[in-house]
Amino acid sequence: MSQSGESTTIFDAEREQFLNSKSSSRIALTVDDTEIDDENDDIFFENELRTGLDSVIEDIGFGKFQKQLLVLCGFGWLADNMWLQCVTMILPRVQVHYQVSNSVIGFLPSAVTFGMMFGALFWGTFSDSYGRKQAFNWTLAVTAFFGIFSSFAQSFTQLCFLLFFMGFGVGGNLPVDGAIFLEFVPKNQQHLLTFMSIFWPFGAVVTSLFSYLVLPQNSCPESDGITFSCDISKNNGWRYLLAILGSLTLLMLIGRVLLFGLKESPKFLMARNKHNEAAIVLREIAHINGREISVDANDLSTSDETPPRVSISMTYPPVKILSNSHYRYGGFFADPMYFIKNRISSKRRDVAPLFTPKWIKTTILVWTIWSVISMAFVMFNVFLPKYLEALAGTENSGSSGSDILDQVMKDILLFSFWGIPGSLIGTWLIDTPLGRRYTMAAGAFSTSLSVFLFTVLKTRIGTVICCSAISLFTTIKYAVIYGYTAEVFETKIRGTANGIASACARITGILAPIITGNLFSISLVAPIYVSAILFAIGGVCMVLLPIETKGRRAIFK
């Protein structure tokens, strides 16, 4: 399709109706008697607007608003790993508290990951449908509420239930926060999305630090799997840890809502044909950055030429009309089956672009990468404290349970710190000749090798070196994966693509603890071998990715 340098304008209502009806309507579109392919209609109508919006964002630059947004979006990524690490740390303590077997205890991290899967799907599509701003605030609100209340759980089942909903909230942070940050920054600062991943290892550090301060003095160390070695009333350290992290999440939420006040993404507004609102937001951002710009809806289009003649012929599908009383009580209660069918149809339209020839290879590889890397990471990480306690107990049979636990907490805190330079190294490497794809592939292959060596070097010093290397390379890999996934997909499908990618990771994360728990009962090293293989498979998929996003602006369509 060629536009011959000409811009195209139609009335907003007609344009919105046209774009939303294409899947079920017969459309014939001509411009100066030249027929336009229906599959390219979005590019046809938005190409000029896209160029103007990107130019304004470049002119506004990177200032106070983007710096604050970097930190507050980083809080979401910090919370994600903070809570994942929390489940890892409390797992042996909960097993002792409720006398749960190895084959059953895996249901706790699976419940959390199950919630994260639904959260990633829900909040990703929610942000594409209703805006980034609402999802940005509600994810941490749900996380904080259920995180705090989970500390009062009175049974293993109740704890799994509460942590499921905590996971539902925190599961939206990765797909939503990355998309938000990317859509507010100019092209020359997009690498900061990878830098933002530094908050992810900080989440592990925060949890490890509080675990070291709280757990050893307030826990019953494990003995013979599920036998108590102290009074159960002294095993409340895991409750204290949940309450502390829930309170920290609440403070992050307060920072987002009261101290910042996010503006809706201009790219989201433009994708929804709200040009005036986008212009207002751009002026407000410039003002926060200490600049004053004059921009309106017309400035977001770069062409001043006379628009060509546009002829549109449409046949719309039948529309079901609901009475006022139906609207009063809501669409679902007015006609549940129609409401459900409409929502299913809407979701299909959201996902369909991901499987067009343009995107299908990228979509499948990205989702595969998230799936296998998540399973590999969970297999290794979830049972790491339990593995280290068992190993330390074998090497130091004369030591007390609290001394062994204290040493394990110190080691995990050390491992967590090594993730911080991983984000910095990843941020530097993505702008070298390695680019995004080969940087994360190198991280995946290096992680696979380190995990394999972990099973070979069984001395304490060997364990410390291997775990530190795993933490470093895993963070490099994840730092780039998060940024690449947000960069490679276009605006109108970015939240959905990120959300489903994250959901794929959660699905395999659900299965991993259950599989690992059973393998762990057979052999301490069996799940670790599987983890090493999965990291290598993820590295191969990264090399096969067809699009390198280095030097490209995140696509707005």
pLDDT of residue 268: 80
pLDDT of residue 49: 37
Name the band, by pLDDT with cuts 50, 70 and 90, for residue 350: low
**Mean pLDDT over residues 102-107, rounded?**
80
Query: Is the model's pLDDT at 230 over the cut of 70?
Result: no
318 sits in which H/E element: none
Longest dimension (CA), the chain: 88
Closest CA to 262 of 204, 183, 203: 183
Tokens of 72: 């507050």
Query: Is the model's pLDDT at 47 over the cut of 70?
Result: no
The CA dihedral of 380, 382, 388, 393, to the nearest 10 degrees, is -130
Residue with tokens 């107990």: 393
Q: Are 266 and 295 in contact (CB under 8 A)?
A: no
Spatial separation of the C-alpha atoms in residues 188 and 370, rounded to whole Å: 27
Spatial separation of the C-alpha atoms in residues 391 and 401, rounded to whole Å: 13
β-partners of residue 223 are 227
Q: Which backbone phi and psi does 448 adopt, to 5 degrees?
A: -60, -45
The set of residues, in sequence order, having a beta carbon less than 8 Å from that of 347 and lying 6+ positions away, is: 125
pLDDT tens digit string along 431-486?
A: 888 888 899 999 999 999 999 888 787 777 888 888 889 989 988 888 888 778 87
Closest CA to 541 of 379, 354, 366: 366
Which segment, 111-115, 201-205, 241-245, 493-497, is predicted with the most confidence on average? 241-245
Whether this prediction's pTM lies above 0.75 is answered by no
Domains of the chain, first to last: 41-303 (1.20.1250.20), 351-556 (1.20.1250.20)
pLDDT tens digit string along 258-269?
A: 877 777 888 888
pLDDT of residue 198: 81
pLDDT of residue 541: 93
Name the band, by pLDDT with cuts 50, 70 and 90, for residue 38: very low
pLDDT of residue 457: 77
The set of residues, in sequence order, having a beta carbon less than 8 Å from that of 274 and lying 6+ positions away, is: none
Which DSSP string corresponds to 198-254?
A: GHHHHHHHHHHHHHHHHTGGG----BTTTB-SS-GGG--HHHHHHHHHHHHHHHHHH
pLDDT tens digit string along 278-308?
A: 888 888 888 888 887 777 777 665 333 333 3
Q: Would strands 310-315 and 34-35 be described as parallel, antiparallel, or unpaired? A: unpaired
CA 149 to each of CA 57, 106, 122, 243: distance values in angstroms, whole numbers, following the listed order: 42, 21, 22, 8
The set of residues, in sequence order, having a beta carbon less than 8 Å from that of 429 and lying 6+ positions away, is: 439, 442, 476, 480
